[in-house]
Structure 1
Amino acid sequence: MTRSDPVIRVGRSLIQHGRYNNRIYLMKLDPGDTDRIIGWIRGTLEEEGYTKVFAKIPQSASPEFEREGFGVEAEIPGYFSDGDSCLFMGKYTDPSRREYHEEGVAATVRTALERADSGHHPLKEGYLIHEADASDAEALAGLYGTVFPSYPFPIDDPGFIRDSIQSGETRFFMMMHGETLLAAASAELDPDSGTVEMTDFATLPEARGLGAAGVLLGHMEVIVRDDGYHLAYTICRGEEPPVNILFARGGYRFAGTLPNNTRIGEGCESMNVWYRSLLTNPSSD
């Protein structure tokens, strides 16, 4: 079995679907495609029998999805350039996939919120942040393959990383000590909405404790804000305190939980959504 699911276009919209996550993920909806997408989802569910559909859509398109049996799981206000909110909506064909460890996720969120807005430490002397280009794809893929036993996208594949960089859709950033790559993260850009998904954070075990993720997050915020992006968000593991604390410390707000959304290892994990406006000062110490 592959370690990720393919991404396709349906009309002008973007969808990931497959057996690996046993789901359909509507990554980007062109509002003009709404009826076509809903029809495609119906047909694909009937044919493939996936247990979840996960849709990231403008709030203005939500009535059609609600009529199709979708419910809101998270919301980011002011996401789109016209001021519309972004809704993360879910539909389940297997009721058991809707059930998740709510107590564990809630405890993680509480722990993160105790550190809210406390900021991140600056980059330590002797370390540098370097924006990756296509020649760094092999090193990045090696880092991700070492840190993550599985991942929803094939970031352990140098070709995937190289294509992402060359397309301009994703900017990868690397924390270096001399010639050694210690940590990395990426900013996935959506010019249409002016938003950025902060994702793909990975730190080698020997570099933990250096505050690499916080440094990378703050650096990426400054870069993309200066390029005109107005909002950043993330979809992170719901019961992993460190990554939730990372975003809470950086001024991100909790938007909701996506039950049993993403395959990590041998099972599906629930994911938390956090967001922040980049029109305020970026996270700092």
Structure 2
Amino acid sequence: MSHDLIVKIGRSNIQIGDYNDRIYLMSLFPEESPEIVNRLINMAVDRDLSKIFAKVPKSLSTHFLSGGFEKEAEVPGMYPDEDGVFLSFYRYPWRKKQDNKAELESVLSVAESKKGKGNVCTLPSNLHLNRLGLKDSHALARLYERTFKTYPFPINDPAFIEGEMESGVRFFGVFENDELVGAASAEVSEDGYSAEMTDFAVNPDYRRMGIAGALLQALESYCVESGIRCLFTIARACSYGINSMFSKGNYEYSGQLINNTNISGSLESMNVWHKMV
């Protein structure tokens, strides 16, 4: 199955397709609200997609909520002078059913118990961290291919990664000699006010070496130097490691996106974490 397409509705950006079985409103052009609500629902009906997922400024959420969407997470300061919200519209009851709810609650509880304890960010002497460029796209694609059985975006495609870099996504990587063994990125918003900490991947042979923590620290330093103040992540809700890492780093839990993302072979719920720097 091919990955979902990123297209425009007017001047708003969406991702749509069967891969994640959803429409994702990635960025909303304000003047297109409230009409876009019905357009998204009609598109989901026409394609028989089971979920619509939207990231919008809180001031524009009223029409979504009255149209059947529900708030699943909120990030303070995501937009200039206002908060951002993640909203979801479910067309079928099964899309909201969580068979692993007890496990996800355990992951969150463990993560919250580690709040603010800090991450190991000093790499072993045989490893070094660099910002990545276009020349690294093939190595990045190989690392992501090895790490994830499926992923919501085609990051196993060097051409996609190159396009992301050219659009402003900043990738950092950890190497042993010339081998890329870990990577992550900061996806900066169009207004330059927020950034999503995302695409964390570590070669299984190099885990428990502080690589993810070092990458997060590098991404945060880049954001601070660039004047970006709101940082957030959408993390796999089933992962003890990634949720604990963000909690240790003083991120605040702000909600869960139910059965939201096709990652590692199936639809998974995702946790949203945020902090201001």
Q: Into which bin does the TM-score normalised by the smaller protein fall?
A: over 0.9
Q: What does 1:5-16 align with in structure 2 at a 5 Å threshold? A: 5-16=4-15
The answer to whether the Cα contact below 8 Å between 2:119 and 2:213 also exists between their aligned partners in 1 is yes
CA 1:249 to 1:136, structure 2 compared with 1: closer, same or farther past 3 Å?
A: same
Q: Distance in 1 between matches of 2:87 and 2:192?
A: 18
Partner residue, 1:240: 239
- What residue identity is the alignment partner of 1:34? S
User: Offset at 1:206?
Assistant: 1.0
Matches within 5 A, 1:126-165: 126-165=126-165
Q: Runs (4+) of structure 1 moved beyond 6 Å?
A: none
For this pair of structures, how many residues does the alignment match? 275
Of 71-80 and 117-126, deviating more is 117-126
Q: State the shift of 1:193 in Å.
A: 5.3
CA offsets, 1:33-83, max 9 Å, x none?
11342232122022111111111111101110011100110111122111x
* Pairs within 5 Å for 1:1-285: 1-2=1-2, 4-82=3-81, 84-100=82-98, 101-124=100-123, 125-168=125-168, 170-192=169-191, 194-278=193-277
Unaligned runs of 5+ in 2: none
Where do 5+ consecutive residues of structure 1 fail to align? Answer: 279-285
| Cα separation, 1, equivalents of 2:271 and 2:226 | 26
Q: Secondary structure at the match of 2:61?
A: helix
Q: Is the 8 A contact 1:196 1:229 kept in 2?
A: yes
- Say if 2:41 and 2:52, in contact at 8 Å, map to a contact too: no
Q: CA deviation at 1:266?
A: 3.9
TM-score, length of structure 2 as denominator length: 0.96
Deviations 1:125-178 (A, max 9, x none): 23221111111101100111111111000000000011111222x111010122
- Paired with 1:246 and 1:59, the residues of 2 have a C-alpha distance of 27
How far does residue 114 in structure 1 lie from its aligned partner after superposition? 1.1
Of stretches 96-105 and 24-33 in structure 1, the one that deviates more from structure 2 is 96-105
Query: What is the deviation of 1:123?
Result: 2.4
Q: Tell me the percent identity.
A: 37
Normalised by the length of structure 1, the TM-score is 0.93
- The letter of the residue matching 1:220 is L
Post-superposition Cα deviations, 1:13-46, rounded to whole Å, max 9, x if no partner, equal 1100100111111111121111342232122022
Q: Which amino acid aligns with 1:150?
A: T
